[in-house]
Structure 1
Amino acid sequence: MSFLRAPTVAPILLLCASNLFMTAAWYGHLKLPRLTMPQAIMMGWLIAFVEYCLAVPANRIGYGAYSAAQLKTIQEVITLVIFTGFSFFVLGEAPSWRTLLGFSLIAAGAFFIFQSK
């Protein structure tokens, strides 16, 4: 399992895990409308702490193997994929064709970040 510590693989896995937590922190409270605003904020902060504990090492491990712009791009594409799944499976919101098209255009833009000069 040494490939999991590779500076090209570990950041991606850590960013996937961190984005699961961040999506839950930002949007999970929408399934709990009975929470007061302070409760929703506190719940989000507690979940986001775990996200941060994963995202910081992801970026520190990956920097050098990837540029900062590439790390941010990886994170954004992962975010879109995880958000789409979360909104469908947890919130019950199927993405429209416009949403999928928009996300696809963002992912297409990410392609250019990884092109050699």
Structure 2
Amino acid sequence: MNPASSAQASRTASWQTSSSSTAATRPNAGAGVRQQLFIDDINQAIGDDAKLKEQYPSQGLQHEELMALRRERDRLAPMCTDEAGALDLAPHLGERVTRLLTAAVHGVGLAVGDHQAQQVPSVSLHVH
């Protein structure tokens, strides 16, 4: 194996190792720009969280929060299109996960649906 192919193999192995722990990191040729930017933003947040935990193990997202973030990334990414207006986050997400997802959705120029408004029944008063 020559040095150039060795370096390429090393980069490929490194990418495969890091990507196996973070689903949806590989650029998708069929994905739109918004979708890929959303995925990249969430993956960056996951990477930043891992770096934070290296320095301060008690900080960062808990395992359940990290799984919820990944699950929502994978669920919402296909909806990040030019035609989308607002995306609805899953109910019962923690505050930190909601904040990260909201920032990523806003970062690609979309809005986040208001769960509170959806859950409150509408009341109409009829005055005679």
TM-score of the superposed pair, with normalisation by structure 1: 0.33
More RCO (CA 8 Å, sep 6+):
1
Greater share of helix: 1
